[in-house]
Copies of this chain bind each other. A is one copy, B any other.
Amino acid sequence: MSLMRCTCGGIDVHAHVVPAHFPACLNAVVPPGWPSTTDAPPQGGLCHRHVLVGGQHYRTVNERCWSAPRRLAELPAMGLAHQVVSPMPELLSYWLPLAPARQLIRYLNDTTAGLCAESGGVLKGLAAVPLQDVDAAIDELRHAIDHLGLVGVEVGSNVNGVPVGHPSLRPFFEACEAMDVPVFVHALKPAGMDRLVGPAPLQQVLAYPTDVGLAAASVITGGLLQACPRLRIAFSHGGGTLASLLPRLQQGWHTFPALRDQLPEAPRDTARSLFYDTLVFDQPTLDHLLATFGDSQLLLGTDYPFNFQEAEPVARVQALGLSASRTEALVAGNARRFLGPRGGLG
């Protein structure tokens, strides 16, 4: 019975929402990045819609993106009791002028909150915030947490090229710490695009984890956790490339006085205070994350409902052959700790 509970009790912290419709932009000048949707042919009995960004096709999505009943019907087969949902990152709109960005982000947060409200407590939502303006981001965060009941915030791995560990973004993370709001960092507009040789999906496949790895490294080398020691911050895609970078960063910290002088704590230790999802598609790589970051820091992640997803997140963790208590930590316990009291998951 305890195995059954474990199998069905997973908490997925990495899943996305796309609204079925977007509002018209209220600004006199509609910015080029404003999103919209149009009907697409149904497939497999599911309603589909095309998402357009600035009038160009970005992705075709289905009703799993916005339908609470559809999601609730599918979670048990994935071993999930709860799912923490966040906007499709391409909608975070850091690149829009502030006024339309605020309108769009408020709409996203209302949509996410509505989906969660429909779910009877199964779904929990992460807010979007307009990080192109840190004060506006803090205002939206307060609204989303205090008035919409969202339980955390999703931020991009960089904000218009500025990585999350940069000091210019620190006041936002200080506000998250002060409000006890967990932060989920997702890859976005990644570095390294000019190093890709091949078709467009390589952006998601290779550049996303690259940017997340550099973002997580920037949090370590920028000293964010030393400035905000109670901040809970998680990184998508298993922290991307961080697990490969970290031993070299640790050795570099021993080797270069300029790094050691700047960082009072060893990078390896700081890395073990961050959280990472399990979305790496591979058992040896999960083993490496466990050895590198520790079994207290990993959280289930699926990228549901997109096609490039982990379909069996709980089964993959169970296949690691860990003890029942360590398995329970990866499947749900760590996520409860990451979400904290606002998560409402005990």
> Of A136-144, A279-287, A317-325, A326-334, which binds chain B?
A279-287
| A213–B214 CB distance below 8 A | no
A215 contacts the other chain (CB 8 A): yes
- With a cutoff of 8 Å between Cβ atoms, the chain B residues found around residue A161 in the complex are 194
Give Cα A285–Cα B194 distance, bound, in whole angstroms.
Answer: 27
Q: Within the complex, what minimum Cβ distance (angstroms) separates A317 from chain B?
A: 15
In the assembled complex, the Cα of A204 lies from the Cα of B165 at a distance in Å of 19
Indicate whether A245 reaches chain B with its CB closer than 8 angstroms: yes
Query: Does the CB pair A218–B194 fall under 8 Å?
Result: no
Say yes or no: A214 contacts B218, CB within 8 Å.
no
CB neighbors of B among A288-342 (8 A): 288, 291-292, 307-308
A76, CB-defined interface residue at 8 Å: no
Complex: A196 Cα to B192 Cα, angstroms: 13
A206 and B197 in contact (CB under 8 A), knowing A192-B191, A247-B282? no
Of residues 220 through 250 on chain A, the ones whose CB sits less than 8 Å from some CB of chain B are: 221-222, 237-238, 240-250
Tell whether, in the assembled complex, residue A287 and residue B285 are in contact, meaning their CB atoms are under 8 Å apart. no
Set of chain B residues within 8 Å of A192, measured between Cβ atoms: 191-192, 210, 214
- Cα-based distance from A202 to B249 in the complex (angstroms): 8
Any chain B CB within 8 A of the CB of A163?
A: yes
* Residues of chain B lying within 8 A (CB to CB) of residue A214: 192, 195-196, 206, 210
A346 on the B face (CB < 8 A): no
A195 adjacent to B158 (CB under 8 Å): yes
Tell whether A277 is near chain B: CB-to-CB under 8 Å.
no
Contact between chains at A241 and B245 (CB < 8 Å):
yes
Alpha-carbon distance between A281 and B249 when the two chains are bound, in angstroms: 10
The answer to whether A50 has its CB under 8 Å from any CB of chain B is: no
Contacts of A222 in B (CB 8 A): 197-198
Q: What residues of B have a CB within 8 angstroms of the CB of A240 in the complex?
A: 244
Among A124-147, those with CB < 8 Å from B are: none
Check: A199 CB closer than 8 A to any chain B CB: yes
The answer to whether residues A284 and B292 also contact, given A197-B166, A213-B210, A245-B210 and a CB cut-off of 8 A, is yes
A202 x B285 contact (CB < 8 A):
no
Assess A256 versus B195: contact at CB under 8 Å? Given A247-B282, A248-B209, A248-B281. Answer: no
- Residue numbers in B under 8 Å from A29 (CB-CB): none
**Distance (whole angstroms) from the CB of A255 to the closest CB of chain B:** 5
A137 to B12, CA, bound (A): 51
A266 on the interface (CB 8 Å rule)? no
Does A38 sit at the interface, judged by CB under 8 A? no
A244-B209 CB under 8 A given contacts A191-B194, A218-B196, A285-B288: yes
Of B163, B199, B241, B256, the contact of A213 (CB 8 Å cutoff): B241
Selected A-B contacts with CB under 8 Å, 27 pairs = A163-B196, A163-B197, A191-B191, A191-B192, A191-B194, A195-B211, A195-B214, A195-B218, A197-B218, A197-B222, A199-B259, A201-B259, A205-B245, A205-B252, A206-B217, A206-B221, A209-B244, A210-B214, A213-B244, A240-B244, A241-B244, A244-B244, A246-B282, A247-B282, A251-B281, A255-B308, A287-B287
In the A-B complex, list the 4 residue pairs whose CB atoms are closest, starting with the nearest: A247-B282, A241-B241, A205-B252, A284-B291
Can you add 6 more A-B contacts, CB < 8 Å, to A196-B214, A198-B259, A201-B259? A191-B192, A199-B256, A200-B258, A206-B217, A206-B221, A247-B281
